[in-house]
A = this chain, B = another copy of it.
Amino acid sequence: MKTATIVGAGLVGSLWAVYLSKAGFKVKIYEKRPDIRTADISAGKSINLALSERGWKAFSTVGIADEIRKIAIPMYGRTMHDLEGNLTFQPYGKEGQAIYSVSRGGINAKMMEIAEKVGNAEIHCNEQCTDVDLENGIVYFENTITKAKSEVQSDLVFATDGAFSAVRYKGMQQLNRFNYEQRYIEDGYREILLPANADGSYKLEKNTLHIWPRGRFMLIALPNEDGSFTCTLFMPFEENKNSFENLKTRDQVDQFFKSTFPDFHELMPDVADTWEDHPLSSLAIVRCYPWVHGKVALMGDAAHATVPFYGQGMNCGFEDCSVMWELMQEHGDDWKKILDEYQISRKPNGDAVQDLSLDNYYVMRDFVGDPEFLLQKKFELRISELYPEKYLPLYSQVSFSHIPYAEAYKKGKEQDVFIKDIMAKNDISALFESGKIDGLIHEYYGDDN
């Protein structure tokens, strides 16, 4: 029986175990942290995650989508909160289309359970990777509790150990001609838990992603199953009036929320008291290449970690599994070919998801509060409704399709130029009001064109 070692029992590693098992591999997973299913990890960094189409496809292929659906909450659009507490809703896609809020801890525990039950994988926790022999597929571990050392050799090794992958650091980064970049953005984040009402109900509309866009910074909130929301404040660490270095005292925090997010402060008057419950954390993208050497391949964040502003980091990692699986169907047991095509075809998409994520930070913290931007999105959505074969908005390409990220990124730029040009030449707002907008769209997208 073929054997595979997976380093990292996170989301991608657990899912990949199911795929490998389906392909006839005996799989062992090694995870440096304690078992997330039994350990107390409440105060970690856990930006809620947004599952979208690419993730669902990766689940469906191995028949586990229904299991995950039980813990996922649909969000049909963005709800923007302005300084006066006025709300504006912008749908993500067509009627019924949604992205799904899941808690990192919740989905990770579920995925590990599935890896064991469906994937027949052995999961070894508290095992820190200390070294790797790329050519021979040997990974060296030290148990973080017993300090016992061990080594595991297998036919293939998959590193799904995250943005700061030990396999990459100890292995790939020692290679000649290995390109590597870790780039932090100037902003950090801190989480806040907005609890449920006493009766367990939600304090904000449940099925939407809430945003308080404030130009250089923003607050967002995603729903949890228990009625609470996981909220995240993204802002500069320093060198700005509104920055984390200016939010040191209880009073500074309280005043900041009162004046900047007044409706949020009303819902959670004790926000300043919970300020220290979660750590101030940083955000980086990691680019590298090659992703494959000898018997080892990087997948997920270990290959292409991104900032969280498009909600695609996890989905992109799951899509790595789909892509690898398709190559396995094509090339059978020729793993040299599978891994080689995997990295060649996938690298531009890893880069693109990072570019998309960086761009979308500006969209979320700034443009979503801009009427002109919202009008453009409304216009694009209407074009897409009338001519679904001819026009798919960028957000939909990324979140509701399987178009490769690099292609979507390029196409999105072109569309943006084209739409802005139409908007400059026509009073779109008036056309919507007079009900004549469809006429204009037919002019541009009708069969004669």
Contacts and interface: CB of A to CB of B under 8 A. Distances in A.
Contacts of A241: none
Contacts of A177: 184, 237, 282, 284
A59 to B, nearest CB: 33
A284 B179 CA distance: 9
A178 interface: yes
A244 to B, nearest CB: 12
Interface string A146-180: 00000000000000000000000000000011111
A246 interface: no
A183 interface: yes
Contacts of A182: 178-181
Contacts of A237: 177
A289 B284 CA distance: 14
16 contacts: A176-B282, A177-B184, A177-B237, A177-B282, A177-B284, A178-B182, A178-B184, A179-B182, A179-B183, A179-B184, A180-B180, A180-B181, A180-B182, A181-B181, A181-B182, A181-B183
- A-B pairs, 4 with minimum CB distance: A181-B181, A177-B184, A177-B282, A180-B182
A170 to B, nearest CB: 11
Interface in A222-269: 237
A182 B176 CA distance: 11
Nearest to A180: B182
Nearest to A188: B177
Contacts of A180: 180-182
A415 to B, nearest CB: 31
A350 to B, nearest CB: 16
Nearest to A287: B181
Contacts of A282: 176-177
A125 to B, nearest CB: 23
Contacts of A179: 182-184
A284 B180 CA distance: 11
Contacts of A181: 180-183
A183 B183 CA distance: 13
Nearest to A184: B177
Contacts of A184: 177-179
A386 to B, nearest CB: 45
Given A177-B184, A177-B284, A180-B182, 13 more contacts: A176-B282, A177-B237, A177-B282, A178-B182, A178-B184, A179-B182, A179-B183, A179-B184, A180-B180, A180-B181, A181-B181, A181-B182, A181-B183
